[in-house]
């Protein structure tokens, strides 16, 4: 049980972003009107309906107050409808995390570990958070998350503040940045309670390019 909980938190919490105040100021964001939010959500929904798979490169950047350097990891992100998500880390270590339905597979150093997410409500919640962020279903999230929308000239910023006890103890704020035109997710940022943040930059998105779900197979 503890394993599930730990993996849950460790795996998923880091997948959500937050914008530092500096970035907010730099981007000159303005709050979106209710009409603009509705339009954005509808556009996301439309895009989601025609997106069957997504693959992109990602760079993960861990920032810590006490370090004067960033920790960088790189890899490939894959999504396939309905509920298949994969983070395939290539550097500095090969490390794969694959979610297929209610199961999570971790491949590390050639060793495979499969975790059933069904019996863990916390895990389930986190999986929902990932899917909502990546698949543009933020507005469908329950009331334990406070969601606000901002925009600048070319981007839309969605901030998610968890208020549920388990999640909020570890995640202070989550942010998702969308390209205003393509609605691609450009960045995810997680602000932790530990005075550190993790930013995921997504580049070279390829829509509907994955032809087989082989890479999501879990034994």
Q: Which residues bind other proteins (CB under 8 A)?
A: 2-3, 5-7, 9-15, 60, 62-64, 66-73, 87, 89, 91-93, 95, 97, 106, 108-109, 111, 113, 169-170, 190, 192-196, 198
Instruction: List all residues 6 or more positions away from 80 whose beta carbon is below 8 Å from its beta carbon.
Output: 52, 53, 54, 210, 213, 216
Please spell the DSSP secondary structure of 105-132, one letter per residue: EEEETTEEEEEE-TT-HHHHHHHHHHHH
CA–CA gap between residue 105 and residue 96 (Å, rounded): 8
At closest approach, how far in Å is the CB of 111 from other proteins? 8
Looking at the Cβ atoms of 88 and 161, the one nearer to other proteins is 88
At closest approach, how far in Å is the CB of 46 from other proteins? 30
- Contact of 63 with 196, CB cutoff 8 Å: yes
Instruction: List all residues 6 or more positions away from 141 whose beta carbon is below 8 Å from its beta carbon.
Output: 128, 129, 132, 147, 160
Looking at the Cβ atoms of 58 and 159, the one nearer to other proteins is 58
CA–CA gap between residue 77 and residue 160 (Å, rounded): 21
At closest approach, how far in Å is the CB of 120 from other proteins? 12
Distances (CA, A) of 15 to 33, 77, 126, 157: 27, 12, 9, 16
At closest approach, how far in Å is the CB of 193 from other proteins? 7
Report the Cα–Cα distance between both ends of the chain, in Å, rounded: 21
Looking at the Cβ atoms of 63 and 152, the one nearer to other proteins is 63
At closest approach, how far in Å is the CB of 139 from other proteins? 25
- Contact of 174 with 185, CB cutoff 8 Å: no
Looking at the Cβ atoms of 91 and 148, the one nearer to other proteins is 91
At closest approach, how far in Å is the CB of 33 from other proteins? 34
Looking at the Cβ atoms of 14 and 37, the one nearer to other proteins is 14
> Residue 17, CB half-sphere, CA atoms under 13 Å: how many?
26
Looking at the Cβ atoms of 88 and 147, the one nearer to other proteins is 88
């Amino acid at each position: 049980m503890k394993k599930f909980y730990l993996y849950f938190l460790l795996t998923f919490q880091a997948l959500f972003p937050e914008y530092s105040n500096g970035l907010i100021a730099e981007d000159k964001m303005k709050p979106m009107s209710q009409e603009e939010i509705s339009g954005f959500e509808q556009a996301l929904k439309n895009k989601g309906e025609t997106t069957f798979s997504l693959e992109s490169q990602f760079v993960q950047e861990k920032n810590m107050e006490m370090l004067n350097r960033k920790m960088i990891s790189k890899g490939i992100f894959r999504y396939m409808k309905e509920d298949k998500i994969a983070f395939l880390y290539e550097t500095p270590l090969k490390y794969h995390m694959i979610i297929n339905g209610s199961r999570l597979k971790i491949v590390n150093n050639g060793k495979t570990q499969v975790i059933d997410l069904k019996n863990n409500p916390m895990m389930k919640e986190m999986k929902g958070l990932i899917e909502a962020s990546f698949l543009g279903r933020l507005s469908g999230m329950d009331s334990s998350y406070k969601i606000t929308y901002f925009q600048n000239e070319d981007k839309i910023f969605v901030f998610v503040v968890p208020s549920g006890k388990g999640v909020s103890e570890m995640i202070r704020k989550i942010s998702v940045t969308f390209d205003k035109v393509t609605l691609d997710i450009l960045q995810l940022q997680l602000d932790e309670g530990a005075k550190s943040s993790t930013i995921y930059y997504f580049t070279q998105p390829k829509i509907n390019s994955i032809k087989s779900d082989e890479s999501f197979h879990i034994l």
